[in-house]
A and B are shown apart, each in its own frame.
Chain A
C-alpha cells in the first residue's frame, strides 16, 4: 500500500510540474490556446454536475438530493448578482436546512 501511495504522490507532482515547465511556444498554436480556454469551462461544468448529482459517496449512481436545492439557490443568487460568499454560504445553508426538515 505504501508503495502505491508514494508512487502516485510522486507521479501526480511530476504531472503538475510538467505542465508548468513546458516551453511557452507549445501554447502559441491557436488550437492549443482554444483548447486551453475551453478546458476550465468543461472541467468546471463537469465538477459542478458531479459534485451535485453523483451519489454522495454511497455508490456510483446519480442522485437528486439536498445538494440540488443548494445549487438552485446558487443559480438564483448568481442571477441576482449576489457576492461569491452569499452564493457559497447560502447554498450550504439551504442544503443543511432542507436535510433537517
Chain B
C-alpha cells in the first residue's frame, strides 16, 4: 500500500463523508438509549454499554433479549455472537491501517461497521486512517451523547422515526455498498445475503440475521475457484460515486 501524502482536498473530502456517516449513525443512539431503558436496564447500564461495548447491533441484541424476558447472561451471549463480525473486520483492517502498540488497542475500540466501511477501500494508508478515525470517533462521541439523551429522556424525546433517521441508516449502508455492486459475483452475494437475512428476521434474535448473512460470504468465498473479483474502489466510491 503506497504512502503518498493526501492532498488537502482529498483529506477534507474523506473527513466530510465520514462525518456525514457519523451524524447519521450517531443520532440513532437516541433510539438505543430509549429502547434499552424501556427493556429494563438502568440509565447507567445503558450508558456503560455504549461507552464500553460500542457495537450497535450487539447492544440492541442484549437489550432485546432482556426485553423479551431472556436471562441477562443469554443476552450477553447473543451480543458476543454478533461481536464476532468485528473480528472479521479487524482481520481486514489490520493490514490496511498498519497500527502497532497502543494505537492498535485504541483503534480496536472504534472498530465497527461504519469505520470499517469508510476506510477499507482507501488506496493509501493515510486515507484509510483518516476515514477510520474520523468515522469511528465521530460515531463514538455522537452515539454516546445520543444514548445518554435517549436513556434519560426516554420516549419523551420523541421517536427517531419521526425524522426518518431509520431510513437514513439504510440509505447510508446502501451508498457504501453501491460501488462494490459493479461486479456480478458481488451482486449475487449481496442479493443472497439480503434474502438470507430477511428470511431469518422473523425467527431469530435481532442481529442474528446479519451474522447469518456473513455465512453467505464464507460459503461463496470458500467455493469460488476464480481469483477474487473485487477491484479496489477509490475514496470517491464510498461517497456514492462522482460528485
Residues on A lying within 8 angstroms of B by beta carbon are 1-13, 15-22, 24, 26-27, 30-57, 60-62, 66-67, 69-71, 73-75, 77-78, 81-85, 87-97, 99
Contacts and interface: CB of A to CB of B under 8 A. Distances in A.
Contact of A88 (B108, B175, B206): B175
Interface stretch (B3-11, B113-121, B123-131, B146-154): B113-121
A34 B87 contact: no
Contacts of A10: 52
Contacts of B161: 56, 66, 95, 99
Given A41-B177, A48-B170, 12 more contacts: A8-B49, A12-B83, A19-B88, A20-B107, A21-B90, A30-B227, A39-B214, A43-B213, A44-B173, A50-B201, A60-B203, A77-B240
Q: Is the interface of B mostly helix, strand, loop or mixed?
A: helix
B75 A88 contact: no
Contacts of B216: 38, 42
17 contacts: A12-B83, A16-B90, A19-B108, A21-B104, A30-B228, A36-B221, A41-B189, A42-B217, A48-B173, A49-B198, A60-B203, A67-B166, A67-B170, A71-B170, A75-B174, A83-B240, A96-B167
A54 B201 contact: yes
Contacts of A7: 73, 76
A82 B243 CA distance: 7
A93 B45 CA distance: 33
Contact of B20 (A57, A69, A75, A85): A85
B177 A44 contact: yes
Nearest to B240: A84
A87 to B, nearest CB: 5
Q: Is the interface of A mostly helix, strand, loop or mixed?
A: helix
Interface in B185-203: 185-186, 189-198, 201-203
A17 B20 contact: no
B164 A74 contact: no
Contacts of A69: 167
B20 A45 contact: no
